[in-house]
Amino acid sequence: MTAAGDSIATGSGVIEVRVAELRQLFNAIDPSPFRDRDLDPRAEEFIVDWARDLPRDAPLALRVHLDRAAGQANEGEQLGQAIHQYFKARADGSRRRLRELFRRGRISLVIAVVFLGATLTLSDLVADVSDSGFAAVLREGFIIGGWVAMWRPLEVFLYDWWPIRSEGRLLDRLSEMPVRIEYNDRMSDQAWRSDWPAVPASSVAPSPPLQQERTSARTPAMPVDDIDHQHTPEEERTIREAALDETIEASFPASDPPSSTPNPDDHEAVDRSPRE
Return the pLDDT at 201: 43
What's the pLDDT score for residue 238? 75
- The answer to whether 22 and 67 have CB atoms below 8 angstroms apart is no
Q: What is the pTM of this model?
A: 0.63
Instruction: Please report the pLDDT score of residue 73 as a whole number.
Output: 78
Taking the CA atoms of the chain, what radius of gyration do you get in angstroms?
42
112 touches 153 (CB < 8 A): yes
What's the helix, strand, coil split of the chain in %, to 5?
A: 60, 10, 35
Residue 104's pLDDT is: 95
pLDDT at 253: 55
Contact 90, 171 (CB under 8 A): yes
* pLDDT for 205: 44
What does the alpha-carbon distance between residue 37 and residue 251 come to, in Å, rounded to a whole number? 61
Q: CA 76 → CA 135, 217, 254, distances in Å? A: 75, 40, 75
φ/ψ of residue 9, rounded to 5:
-75, 155
| Dihedrals phi, psi of 3, to nearest 5 degrees | -140, 160
DSSP 8-state assignment for residue 39: B
Mean pLDDT by groups of 10 residues along the chain of 276 residues = 86 92 86 81 94 92 89 84 94 96 96 94 87 86 91 93 95 95 71 50 42 38 45 71 69 52 52 49
Task: Give the phi and the psi of residue 30 in degrees, each rounded to 5.
Answer: -80, 120
Sequence spans of domains, the chain: 3-194
The confidence score (pLDDT) of residue 117 equals 94
From the CB of residue 213, how many other CB atoms can be counted at a distance below 10 Å?
Answer: 11
